[in-house]
Structures are given as structure tokens and as C-alpha cells.
């Protein structure tokens, strides 16, 4: 998928070294690439990013669909950073870079001699972002970090699911994706600062911090009342009714989050007595009696289909919606209009579906200019740009720079 570019993209001319694997780091770097940055993905020879071989099903080639959805618009270079020859090439790349993103466990980059203090001497303007499970410092810093652990240890899982049910994680990787987004925020802020000061800086982003940062409403309740947040299923601690409701054919979601909407709801479902009920007169009362309220409302909602209720409530100005599957969301009229599924031409897979751009930039719309790279696809191209050829290249090859 290529579209004509009428204006330079915002990050055109910015070089990013993506020294990361799996999700948070690669996704962060893909967002930068979508905005025009020249992202060079540094991968271990032979295996590459672990995500290339992840997931329980095979594609035509060796790369997984997960990898193909987190690595578009990048170039791939294979380097063995455990060899002096590999590091020599890497240092030459660092000299040309504006931003570096890595997500190895704290201490690994220092052991390899490519941590921020080491690279700052080579490139004082480098913006260096480290993504980890629990941050670069602190009692948990050395722990391996994955989304599941971050959700559990940040408290996210303590409020996910139903009160009497077993532990449940959020269905999407909120810690991974959240950390990628917060990292982009830090990276771009530091880059803007660099354009004024000429100096780069170190950015410490963690899955734990990012997951905990999403706890605004739950934490506000806890700090304001002293009551520890607890599981509520699809409801929340701030207003009621605001949750999934059962109709005759299944569930839908709705929310009457203020007194005006509550009155309107009672009128539209022909239950004016609920508005006068002493259990439901105010939002605090409705929250305190949420289960009773839901049961009362479902006595009425069970009389029509979910689609009928969604249409009726929306027509009255009351927020409501169906509970879609992912295919239904992508295939919906709105999902198609928002271009949330796009196809990318790939040399092995043919047409590869990708999730569309989540933010639409009207003046300089994001572009797909490169397919997700094959492992090491651009090694020779990048070496040529660095002026590495002839005897120098042979010496690097003999030194194991590009070998597993």
C-alpha cells in the first residue's frame, strides 16, 4: 500500500535505531516509522526478532502475522552485537542516528558496551530510550518483564473481571502498547528539546509504570475514599448505570452517566418509577445499589434485542453500542470508513493485512512506504550508505559481524 506523498512527513530525515524485539519496542519504532523516520531494525543474525517466529500458526514465509503488524516501514540489518566487528558497524550507525530504542533487560546493553553512557560519547545528541518491564532502577528492575507480569503487579488485574471470578488480564496488551505510546511521547519530547539544546538524553520507560498510569479512575477512588478498588465486570466506580446490559438476544453496552441522562433513560424505557426510587435518586445511590439497578433495568431490556435497544437509546441521545467481535469491528461500516484495516504488498506473503493508523494526521498523513522487512534485507544497503566496502567489509565479515 503506497500513496503519493505531497509533503514531507513530520519525521522525515530522522534516523532511529530499533534495537528491540517482541512488542513494546518494535511497536514504538513502527509508530515513528509511520511518521517518516528512517527506522533501521538491528536484529541478531539467524533468528532475528523473536516475534518473527512467534504465534501458533505458519504463514507462507518464516515471519509471523504479529511481526508483520509491528514492523512496517522499517529496514532490517543483521548484526552480531556480541562481536567487536558487529559493534564497530553499530557504532558507525550510532554516529548517524537521532534516536535509539532498546528493550533488553537492564544491564545487558552495559555489558555489551552499547549503553547510553558509552554511546553518548560517540553521539552527544542521541535520544536513547530503554524499554523494560520494571524500569532501569528499583527493587524489581532485574526481573524479566512481560505484559502479563506488568498487568498483575501494577494492579490492573485486581480490577479486571468479575468479583467472584479467577484472575483475569485485560484482553489486549495494555502494558506493552501503553509503554510503547508513553515511550513515543518521551522520545518526541526529548527530540524536540534536542533541536534547541543540541543534547540528547536517556529515557527510562517501563511496562509497570505505564500500566499503573492507566489507573486514574480507580486510584482517584482509592485516594479519595480509602476503599481499595475491586472488580466490577463491565461497570466502573464513577457512575451508574454504565455497563453491559442483557437484552433478549445477548448483551449491549450503555451509559447514563449523569442526572439528565438518567432521567432521559427512565422516560425512554417507560420506567419513570425508577427515577423516583429512593435507591436510585443520585449517582452515589445508584453506585451503591448498582446490582439492584442493573437487575431492574434488565427486566425491561430483556424485552427487546440488543440492536433495538442500541437504536432506541442512540436516537434519544443516550450513549449505547453493540459488543462487537474484532471481525465485526474491522468490517463495520465505520471501521471501513476509518481505514482500520489496510493491506501491504509483501514479497513473500503477497497482500498482508495490517491494522490501520490509529491517529489521522490531515496535513501530513502517515504513509506505508516499506513492507515489514525480511531478516537482514537491507544490510548491504545500509553498509553501502555507511561507506563500508572492500577490505573493510571483508574484515568485518571475517570478524563475525554478520554471522550468528
DSSP-based three-state secondary structure for 102: strand
- Mean pLDDT over 184-193 rounds to 98
pLDDT digits (tens, 9 = 90+) for 315-349: 999 999 999 999 999 999 999 999 999 999 999 99
Would you say residue 1 lies in a domain?
no
- Other residues' Cβ atoms within 10 Å of the Cβ of residue 285: 15
11 pLDDT higher than 70? yes
Report how far residue 357's alpha carbon sits from residue 162's, in angstroms, rounded to the nearest whole number. Answer: 33
- Mean pLDDT over 26-34 rounds to 98
- Other residues' Cβ atoms within 10 Å of the Cβ of residue 257: 17
Mean of all residue pLDDT scores within the chain: 96
Cα–Cα nearest to 24, from 76, 109, 127, 102: 102
CATH of the domain at 247: 3.30.1540.10
- Domain shared by 149 and 296, yes or no: no
- Domain shared by 54 and 143, yes or no: yes
- Domain shared by 80 and 198, yes or no: yes
According to DSSP, the residues that pair with 132 across neighbouring strands are 206
Domain end position, chosen among 272, 301, 324: 324
- Domain shared by 357 and 390, yes or no: yes
Would you say residue 373 lies in a domain?
yes
Cell of 70: 509491528
- Domain shared by 279 and 357, yes or no: no
- What confidence tier does 5 reach under pLDDT thresholds 50, 70, 90? low
Would you say residue 223 lies in a domain?
no
301 conformational bin, left if phi > 0, alpha if psi -120 to 50, beta if neither: alpha
Would you say residue 222 lies in a domain?
no
User: 370 is in which domain, residue-wise?
Assistant: 15-214+337-399
pTM of the model: 0.94
CA-based radius of gyration for the chain: 25
CATH of the domain at 124: 3.40.50.10540
Strands (E), 260-372: 320-322, 341-346, 350-355
- Into how many domains does the chain fold? 2
Cell of 144: 524479566
Cα–Cα nearest to 280, from 244, 242, 237, 240: 240
Cell of 277: 426510587
- Domain shared by 46 and 142, yes or no: yes
- Other residues' Cβ atoms within 10 Å of the Cβ of residue 111: 10
1 pLDDT higher than 70? no
Which residue blocks in 338-389 are alpha helix, DSSP H? 379-385
- Domain shared by 179 and 103, yes or no: yes
Would you say residue 94 lies in a domain?
yes
- Domain shared by 54 and 167, yes or no: yes
pLDDT digits (tens, 9 = 90+) for 244-259: 999 999 999 999 999 9
Would you say residue 229 lies in a domain?
no
**Angle at 27 (CA atoms; ends 116, 91), nearest 5 degrees:** 30
- Domain shared by 210 and 122, yes or no: yes
Would you say residue 2 lies in a domain?
no
Domain end position, chosen among 324, 351, 370: 324
pLDDT digits (tens, 9 = 90+) for 270-286: 999 999 999 999 999 99
Domain end position, chosen among 297, 324, 351: 324
- Mean pLDDT over 205-216 rounds to 97
107 conformational bin, left if phi > 0, alpha if psi -120 to 50, beta if neither: left
- Domain shared by 189 and 247, yes or no: no
What is the pLDDT, as a whole number, of residue 204? 98
Cis peptide preceding 216, ω within 30 of 0: no
**Angle at 175 (CA atoms; ends 226, 338), nearest 5 degrees:** 110
Determine what percent of the chain is predicted with pLDDT higher than 90: 96
- What confidence tier does 7 reach under pLDDT thresholds 50, 70, 90? confident
The residues annotated as belonging to the active site are 176
- Domain shared by 117 and 158, yes or no: yes
Report how far residue 146's alpha carbon sits from residue 286's, in angstroms, rounded to the nearest whole number. Answer: 38
pLDDT digits (tens, 9 = 90+) for 341-382: 999 999 999 999 999 999 999 999 999 999 999 999 999 999
Would you say residue 257 lies in a domain?
yes
Report how far residue 263's alpha carbon sits from residue 297's, in angstroms, rounded to the nearest whole number. Answer: 13
- Domain shared by 21 and 52, yes or no: yes
8 Å CB contact between 129 and 186: yes
What is the pLDDT, as a whole number, of residue 213? 97
What is the pLDDT, as a whole number, of residue 56? 86
DSSP-based three-state secondary structure for 76: strand
Amino acid at each position: 500500500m503506497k500513496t503519493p506523498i505531497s509533503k514531507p512527513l513530520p519525521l522525515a530525515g530522522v534516523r532511529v535505531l530499533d534495537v528491540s524485539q517482541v512488542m513494546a519496542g518494535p511497536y514504538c519504532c513502527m509508530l515513528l516509522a509511520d511518521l517518516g523516520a528512517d527506522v533501521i531494525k538491528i536484529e541478531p543474525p539467524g533468528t532475528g526478532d523473536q516475534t518473527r517466529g512467534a504465534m501458533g500458526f505458519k504463514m507462507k514465509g518464516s515471519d509471523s502475522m504479529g511481526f508483520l503488524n509491528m514492523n512496517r516501514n522499517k529496514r532490517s540489518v543483521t548484526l552480531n552485537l556480541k562481536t567487536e566487528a558487529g559493534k564497530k558497524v553499530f557504532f558507525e550507525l550510532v554516529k548517524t542516528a537521532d534516536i535509539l530504542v532498546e528493550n533488553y533487560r537492564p544491564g545487558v546493553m552495559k555489558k555489551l558496551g552499547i549503553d547510553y553512557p558509552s554511546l553518548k560519547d560517540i553521539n552527544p545528541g542521541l535520544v536513547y530510550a530503554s524499554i523494560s518491564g520494571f524500569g532501569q532502577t528499583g527493587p524489581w528492575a532485574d526481573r524479566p518483564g512481560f505484559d502479563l507480569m506488568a498487568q498483575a503487579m501494577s494492579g490492573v488485574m485486581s480490577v479486571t473481571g468479575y468479583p467472584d471470578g479467577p484472575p483475569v488480564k485485560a484482553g489486549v496488551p495494555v502494558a506493552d502498547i501503553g509503554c510503547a505510546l508513553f515511550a513515543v511521547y518521551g522520545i518526541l519530547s526529548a527530540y524536540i528539546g534536542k533541536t534547541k539544546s543540541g543534547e540528547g538524553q536517556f529515557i527510562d520507560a517501563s511496562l509497570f509504570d505505564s500500566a499503573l498510569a492507566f489507573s486514574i479512575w480507580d486510584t482517584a477512588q482509592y485516594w479519595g475514599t480509602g476503599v481499595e478498588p475491586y472488580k466490577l465486570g463491565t461497570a466502573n466506580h464513577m457512575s451508574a448505570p454504565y455497563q453491559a446490559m442483557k437484552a433478549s438476544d445477548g448483551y449491549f453496552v450503555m451509559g447514563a452517566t449523569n442526572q439528565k441522562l438518567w432521567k432521559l433513560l427512565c422516560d425512554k424505557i417507560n420506567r419513570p418509577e425508577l427515577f423516583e426510587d429512593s435507591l436510585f435518586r443520585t449517582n452515589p445511590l445508584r453506585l451503591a445499589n448498582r446490582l439492584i439497578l442493573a437487575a431492574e433495568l434488565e427486566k425491561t431490556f430483556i424485552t427487546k434485542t440488543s440492536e433495538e435497544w442500541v437504536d432506541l437509546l442512540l436516537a434519544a441521545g443516550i450513549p449505547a453500542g453493540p459488543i462487537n467481535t474484532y471481525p465485526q469491528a474491522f468490517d463495520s461500516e465505520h471501521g471501513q470508513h476509518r481505514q482500520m484495516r489496510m493491506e501491504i504488498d509483501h514479497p513473500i506473503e503477497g497482500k498482508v493485512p495490517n491494522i490501520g493508523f490509529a491517529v489521522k494526521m490531515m496535513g501530513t498523513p502517515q504513509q506505508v512506504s516499506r513492507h515489514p522487512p525480511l531478516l537482514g534485507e537491507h544490510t548491504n544497503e545500509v553498509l553501502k550508505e555507511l561507506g563500508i566496502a572492500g577490505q573493510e567489509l571483508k574484515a568485518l565479515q571475517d570478524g563475525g559481524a554478520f554471522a550468528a
